[in-house]
Amino acid sequence: MSLPTLFPGATLGVMGGGQLGRMFVHAAQRMGYFTAVLDPDAASPAGLVSHHHIQTGYLDPEGLARLAECSAAVTTEFENVPAPALAALALQRPVAPGAEAVAIAQDRAREKAHFVRCGVPCAPYAVIETPEQLAAVPDELLPGILKTARLGYDGKGQQRVATRAELAAAWAGLKGVPCVLEKRLPLAAECSVIVARGWDGAMVHFPPQLNLHRDGILAVTQVHEGNLPKVLVQRSIDATKSIANGLQYVGVLCVEFFVLEDGSLVVNEMAPRPHNSGHYTQDACDVSQFELQVRALAGLPLTPPRQHSPAIMLNLLGDLWFASTAQDAATEPPWARVLALPGTHLHLYGKHEARRGRKMGHLNITGASAAQVRATALEAAQLLGLEAF
């Protein structure tokens, strides 16, 4: 499918007003586009910097009509935007990614079935929606991880289980909602690949990112030559492209993988949007993931991005504003000392209140060599009170 190109001067709409929307808006505005954000929060990071902020719920018919009226095309900035809202918008305007792709990403059972259809290996799993399915779970899936089929992100809605009794108790604790039980695998590392796919099927990708999670939230991303074995680099890129093509996807897509101790690769999940692990592209590449999101939505050429510097991204949570566990009032982290380090790039999201566990920003570190970047990143982490990696 090919659509007319939307040139700078057009208005691009985005469903969702979080930090990913904010960075999309900044990228679109830098290229000369106007922007419109639909988000119910008056202080949403993207809404505060957009030309238009439609402050309604995501399923509000009047709000959706206003977004369609003022936008030439619409994207989304987080995966839990209701798919029916995207379907309604698509009746009037081009929407990328489409409602069906987002709906699949919102449901772990459908997502895993899609991975299987695309020939991409994932962890052995079972869908649990009824007591009968619970009783029929194969013994070889334990120990495992029970995950809610819907609305899970950043480690939420997940519980480790080792026995059938623990599995039954965990499912009951989740009120018997549809779940997926995944076999727990021996992990050596985690990585992700980000691709951008156009309306015409053209696709480009960034190099695979090596990721470290803490408490289910991405903490560190490292991207440089040799961060992964070459065989896994190509395998992860090919798998991500297969998943995107299978969805007839348009926009930026991130697919996360597990690297197992035996050197094999299994897919974990996908995010139908730009991703935390791609934030380094803002300072280490000639085209960022957010500019590619703009280009894909607007039908502009998708040029292959070039990484010009090794990079490490440190995720900045609200905990940094509370250096002491006994501290009640937020205190600004030592930005001046951090920014005195060569190759540091601070990105804060404009959130008015720091809270523990809340994503407040990220720090990109670039340099001439992977060793230099790592040394600087470790120094920055120490200044901020972050755990070494």
Nearest to 301 by CA among 178, 168, 197: 197
Residue 349 assigned ligand-binding role: no
Residue 351 assigned ligand-binding role: no
DSSP string covering 57-69: -TT-HHHHHHHHH
Residue 39 assigned ligand-binding role: no
Query: DSSP 3-state assignment of 172?
Result: helix
Spell out the per-residue pLDDT of the chain, length 389, in tens: 567 899 999 999 999 999 999 999 999 999 999 999 999 999 999 999 999 999 999 999 999 999 999 999 999 999 889 999 999 999 999 999 999 999 999 999 999 999 999 999 999 999 999 999 999 999 999 999 999 999 766 667 889 999 999 999 999 999 999 999 999 999 999 999 999 999 999 999 999 999 999 998 999 999 999 999 999 999 999 999 999 999 999 999 999 999 999 999 999 999 999 999 999 999 999 999 999 999 999 999 999 999 999 999 999 999 999 976 566 788 999 999 999 999 999 999 999 999 999 999 999 999 999 999 999 999 999 999 999 99
Residue 269 assigned ligand-binding role: yes
Residue 213 assigned ligand-binding role: yes
DSSP 8-state code for residue 304? P
pLDDT confidence of residue 155: 60
DSSP 8-state code for residue 8? B
Domains of the chain: 11-95 (3.40.50.20), 124-183 (3.30.1490.20), 187-384 (3.30.470.20)
Name, in order, each residue with C-beta under 8 angstroms of 125's C-beta and a sequence gap of 6 or more.
112, 141, 180, 181, 182, 183
Residues 55, 56, 59, 60, CA torsion sign: negative
Q: How far is CA 265 from CA 153, 210, 277, 342, in A?
A: 21, 13, 18, 35
Other residues' Cβ atoms within 10 Å of the Cβ of residue 322: 18
pLDDT confidence of residue 44: 97
DSSP string covering 95-138: BSS-HHHHHHHTBHHHHHHHHHHTT--B--EEEE-SHHHHHT--
Residue 382 assigned ligand-binding role: no
Burial of 340 (0-12, 13-18, 19+ CB in 10 A): exposed
Other residues' Cβ atoms within 10 Å of the Cβ of residue 202: 12
pLDDT confidence of residue 157: 80
Residue 184 assigned ligand-binding role: yes
pLDDT confidence of residue 2: 61
Residue 185 assigned ligand-binding role: yes
* pTM assigned to the model: 0.96
**CA distance linking residue 359 with residue 354, whole number of Å:** 9
Name, in order, each residue with C-beta under 8 angstroms of 327's C-beta and a sequence gap of 6 or more.
none
Residue 153 assigned ligand-binding role: yes
Are 194 and 253 spatial neighbours (Cβ–Cβ below 8 Å)?
Answer: yes
Residue 157 assigned ligand-binding role: yes
pLDDT confidence of residue 67: 98
Residue 147 assigned ligand-binding role: yes
pLDDT confidence of residue 324: 67
pLDDT confidence of residue 79: 87
Rounded to a whole number of angstroms, the distance between the first and last alpha carbons of the chain is 44
Other residues' Cβ atoms within 10 Å of the Cβ of residue 331: 12
Are 212 and 257 spatial neighbours (Cβ–Cβ below 8 Å)?
Answer: no
Residue 359 assigned ligand-binding role: no
Residue 32 assigned ligand-binding role: no
pLDDT confidence of residue 328: 73
